[in-house]
Structure 1
Amino acid sequence: MKTTIFTFHPDLKNGSRINASLAKAASEASFEVRDVYRLYPDFKIDVTAEQTVLEASDRIVLQFPIYWYQTPALLKQWFDAVLEYGWAYGSTGNALRGKEVLLVASFGAGAEDYQLDGRFHTTVEEVLKPIATIQYHTGLLFLEPFITTGTLNLSDEGLNEQVEKYLNILSAE
C-alpha cells in the first residue's frame, strides 16, 4: 500500500514539535512526506503534480494543526485547487474513489476543552466535520482520525508515545 503524507504547517521546522516529530518519524520510516508549505510558499499549487501524487497513492495522510478551529490556509487552498470538479468529483470525476484518507490533526488545547460542555463548546469531530464531508463527493474512505490534543503542554514522553502510535497506524495495512 502506497501511503503519502501531506503536511500543512506554515513553519514545520520551528513552529510545531508534534507535526515536525510526526513528519520526521514518517520520513525516517520511508514514507513519502510532502511539506506543502515548503513546496508552495506562494500558495501557487501545481495542481497536476498534486493530482499525480494523489493518483499514485492508496492512502492519503493529511497532517495539520488546527488554528482558530480551522485548518491552515494552504490546506483549504489545496482542497479548492486540487480536488477539482471533473477530476475528484462530478459525473466524470472519480480519481480518488476508494482511496483511504487519514486526518492527522493537532490541537493546542486539551481534550477536555473540546467537549460540548468544555471551554470551547465544540468537539474535535465537529471541528473536522467540514473535511470529513469531502468523502461524500469524492468517494474517499475516511479512516478514524489520529488526533493529538494538548500539544502546548505535551511532555517529551507524551510526544514519543504519539510518534510511536502514528508509526503503528501508518504501518498497518
Structure 2
Amino acid sequence: MADVLVLVAHPDLRASRANAQLLKAARAAGTQVPERIEVRDLYALYPDYVIDVAAEQRAAHNARLIVWQHPIHWYSMPPLMKLWLDEVLELGWAYGRGGTALAGRDVWLVTTTGGAEAAYHPRSYNRYFFDAFLPPYEQTAVLCGMRFLPPLVLHGAHKVGKDVLEAHVQRYREALLSYPDWPELADLEECPSCEVPVGDRPAMQEA
C-alpha cells in the first residue's frame, strides 16, 4: 500500500539512456522508503502483454500519486502503457457509474522526447508546442476523477549533456521522496467534475 505508484513503460530499457536512469532513481527512492514508493516495470512484468488487471487495480487504488513514466512514442505513449489504461481503467471501476476507485488521486507524467524542445514549435517539424499533445493524458485523468499534475519532461534525451541528465534524474528522485510536499501543488485547482451520462456508455457494452 504505497503512497506513490511509479508505472514505467519502456519497450527496451537496454537501449535507453534517460529512462533507464529515471527507473534506477525511482527504484533507489523505493528502496529508501519501501512503505511509500512502489515501482512497477510494465514491460518486465508483462512481456506477453497479458496484464494482471486485479493486481494493477489494487496498486493504483492504494496510491495517492500515480506516475506514468515513459518515452514519447509517436506523440503518445508506448503500446503497453496504452494497454494498461485500456484494461485497468475499467468502466464502473475508474469512471462512469460507480467508477470512483481512483477519485482524488494525482497523476504525474514523467516523459522524455527524442527531439529537442525547439522541435515542438509551429515552425519546426513537430508543428505544435509540446503541450498540444497532452490533452489525452489530462482528460484520461480527469475522467477518472484524478488531478493531472504539470509533467516532468526531458527533451532531446539522446543528446543532452551528462550534467543535465544527472540533474534531471536527481530532481525526479527528490520529487518522489518529497510528495505530497510540493510547493506547486498549493496553486493547482482541484480536479474538475466529469460525469459520463449513462446513455453514452450502457453498462458493459462497446460502441
The worse-fitting range, judged by mean Cα deviation, of 50-59 and 26-35 is 26-35
Decide which structure has the larger Cα Rg and report it: 2
Query: What letter corresponds to residue 45 of structure 1 in structure 2?
Result: I
Query: What letter corresponds to residue 90 of structure 2 in structure 1?
Result: E
The corresponding residue for 1:137 is 143
Shift of 1:16: 1.1
2:18–2:158 contact (8 Å) kept in structure 1 = no
Over the aligned positions, Cα root-mean-square deviation in angstroms equals 1.2
Residues 42-79 of structure 1: per-residue CA shift (max 9 Å, x gap): 11111000000001111000100012212101111111
After TM superposition, which residue ranges in structure 1, 4 or more long, deviate above 3 angstroms?
A: none
Query: What letter corresponds to residue 2 of structure 1 in structure 2?
Result: D
The corresponding residue for 1:120 is 126
TM-score of the superposed pair, with normalisation by structure 2: 0.80
Structure 2 residue ranges without an equivalent (≥5): 31-36, 181-207
User: Which of 22, 39, 47 is the matching residue for 2:45?
Assistant: 39
Shift of 1:124: 1.6
TM-score of the superposed pair, with normalisation by structure 1: 0.95
2:5–2:65 contact (8 Å) kept in structure 1 = yes
Counting aligned pairs with the same residue, the percent is 40
Query: What letter corresponds to residue 118 of structure 1 in structure 2?
Result: S
Shift of 1:11: 1.3
The worse-fitting range, judged by mean Cα deviation, of 64-73 and 126-135 is 126-135
Shift of 1:91: 1.2
Q: How many residues align?
A: 172
SS of residue paired to 1:24: helix
Distance 1:110 1:93 in 2: 39
2:142–2:148 contact (8 Å) kept in structure 1 = no
The corresponding residue for 1:8 is 9
The answer on 1:148 being equivalent to 2:173 is no
Distance 2:134 2:71 in 1: 11
Shift of 1:125: 1.4
The corresponding residue for 1:23 is 23
Query: What letter corresponds to residue 95 of structure 1 in structure 2?
Result: A
Query: What letter corresponds to residue 9 of structure 1 in structure 2?
Result: H
Distance 2:152 2:67 in 1: 10
The corresponding residue for 2:201 is none
User: Which of 68, 72, 82 is the matching residue for 2:78?
Assistant: 72
Shift of 1:32: 1.8
Query: What letter corresponds to residue 157 of structure 2 in structure 1?
Result: T
Shift of 1:107: 0.2
The verdict on how the C-alpha distance between 1:26 and 1:136 changes in structure 2, with shifts beyond 3 A counting, is: closer
Query: What letter corresponds to residue 26 of structure 2 in structure 1?
Result: A
2:18–2:157 contact (8 Å) kept in structure 1 = yes
Distance 1:2 1:44 in 2: 25
The answer on 1:93 being equivalent to 2:115 is no
Distance 1:126 1:16 in 2: 25
The answer on 1:109 being equivalent to 2:115 is yes
User: Which of 169, 174, 177 is the matching residue for 1:168?
Assistant: 174
